[in-house]
């Protein structure tokens, strides 16, 4: 297991590399060039610049997250080949600088979605990301996008890039009538082209689950249950066609038994990376908030999760995922320093205990 941290780059993060380096047991980053639009090539120069800074801070950068897939690829439009060519160039460029895993998702239009980015947690005075399907029903896609942008403390959030959302109405219209099978077919076309390149250059693609783990706004979504991930693995059978199991995303839906999903794919050698965080279910249908990482503060069993990783995919890269906003920090919602650092330390503690008890 390598414990890592998400960092958005010098100009886009309130957290400094020197601070990340001081978190006990932190080996490196899940890096991200947050200014790149989906479909653009990540140039060698940009990658080198980012990774050199990370190395200079004494951290590794073997994982890159959110090389976003252009909507034309997901929709299977004739223009997709150009964007797949670009994606392949990015994979090759990242491999040259030592990147071994690329985390991405195949969700139409939206990345993760919440109805409130700073929902007060009355028990301790902190706040966290929050979702209530009821509020979403009142809002509709355009409003949720505007609200998310307005509430993000001036940061652009991953998956919510302005360029991508400018054409929202048109894109939503284009997806009408697309079934999950059609989306899977487009996904296969993409994988069939990129995975042989990944095998050649030693990179593993890691698909992140739909978040929340159910369809939204009538869009097809195909990555939120074990059965669906089995289908994704079968689309192109290769260890390079791998997964990033995000416990909070999958765990938002009570049908998913997260430790058992980890064991299933870990045993099959398909887990390249893990996002580990906790969620707390609230009253009512599709209603939850994010919790601190500790098991007792939410509804996921973090010991069982870390044990499943230890037993079936001990080499996976792990990072704490979203944290609460605590200690008056002002930052990117979900991506402050303090609660994620506490999360990393707690997960490292679980790992140490599991490791010592296994010997």
Which residues are marked as active site? 208, 246, 275, 321-322, 335
Helix 258-267 / helix 226-235 crossing angle, nearest 10 deg: 20
User: C-alpha distances in angstroms, 104 versus 46, 58, 91, 110, 289?
Assistant: 19, 25, 12, 13, 23
Helix or strand (DSSP H, E) at 226: helix 226-235
| DSSP notation for 154-187 | TPPPTT--HHHHHTHHHHHHHHTT--HHHHHHHH
Contact of 163 with 37, CB cutoff 8 Å: yes
Question: Beta partners for 205?
Answer: 102, 241
Strands 278-281 and 116-121: unpaired
In eight-state DSSP terms, residue 111 is S
Q: Is residue 83 a contact partner of residue 73, using CB atoms and an 8 Å limit?
A: yes
Closest C-alpha to 169, from 71, 35, 80, 73: 71
Compute the radius of gyration of the chain from its Cα atoms: 19
Q: Which partner from the list Mn ion, ligand CS2, none does 290 bind, CB cut-off 5 to 8 Å by kind?
A: none
Spatial contact of 132 and 236, defined as CB atoms under 8 Å apart: no
- Between CA 331 and CA 288 the distance in angstroms is 22
**Bond into 307 cis (ω within 30):** no
Question: What is the SS3 assignment for 244-260?
Answer: EEEHHHHCCCCCCCHHH
| Phi, psi of 330, rounded to the nearest 5 degrees | -115, 120
CA angle 144, 148, 149 (to 5 degrees): 120
Is there a contact between 34 and 14 (Cβ–Cβ < 8 Å)? no
- Chain residues binding ligand CS2 by CB under 6 A are 65-66, 103-105, 111-112, 158-159, 208, 211, 246, 275, 321
Alpha carbon distance 40, 105 (integer Å): 16
């Amino acid at each position: 297991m390598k414990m890592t941290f998400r960092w958005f780059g010098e100009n886009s993060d309130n957290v400094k590399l020197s601070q990340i380096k001081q978190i006990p047991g932190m080996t490196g980053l899940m890096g991200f060039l947050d200014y790149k639009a989906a479909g653009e090539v990540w140039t060698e120069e940009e990658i080198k610049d980012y990774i050199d800074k990370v190395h200079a801070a004494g951290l590794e950068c073997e994982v890159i997250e959110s090389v976003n897939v252009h909507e034309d690829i997901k929709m299977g439009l004739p223009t997709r080949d150009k964007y797949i060519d670009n994606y392949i160039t990015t994979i090759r460029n990242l491999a040259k600088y030592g990147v071994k895993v690329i985390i991405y998702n195949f969700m139409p239009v939206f990345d993760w979605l919440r109805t409130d980015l700073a929902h007060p947690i009355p028990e301790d005075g902190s706040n966290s990301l929050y979702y209530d399907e009821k509020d979403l029903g009142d809002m509709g896609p355009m409003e949720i996008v505007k609200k998310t942008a307005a509430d993000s403390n001036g940061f652009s959030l991953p998956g919510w890039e302005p360029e991508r959302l400018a054409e929202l109405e048109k894109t939503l219209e284009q997806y009408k009538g697309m079934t999950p099978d059609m989306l899977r077919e487009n996904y296969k076309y993409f994988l069939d082209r990129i995975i042989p390149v990944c095998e050649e250059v030693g990179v593993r693609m890691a698909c992140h689950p739909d978040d929340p783990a159910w369809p939204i706004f009538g869009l097809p979504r195909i990555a939120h249950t074990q059965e669906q991930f089995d289908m994704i693995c079968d689309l192109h059978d290769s260890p390079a066609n791998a997964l990033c199991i995000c416990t909070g995303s999958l765990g938002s839906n009570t049908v998913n038994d997260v430790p058992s999903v980890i064991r299933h794919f870990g045993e099959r050698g398909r887990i390249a990376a893990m996002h580990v965080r906790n969620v707390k279910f609230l009253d009512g249908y599709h209603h939850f908030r994010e919790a601190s990482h500790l098991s007792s503060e939410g509804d996921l069993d973090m010991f069982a999760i870390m044990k499943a990783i230890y037993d079936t995919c001990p080499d996976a890269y792990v990072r704490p995922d979203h944290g609460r906003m605590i200690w008056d920090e002002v930052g990117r919602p979900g991506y402050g320093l303090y609660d994620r650092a506490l999360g990393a330390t707690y997960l490292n503690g679980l790992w140490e205990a599991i490791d010592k008890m296994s010997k």
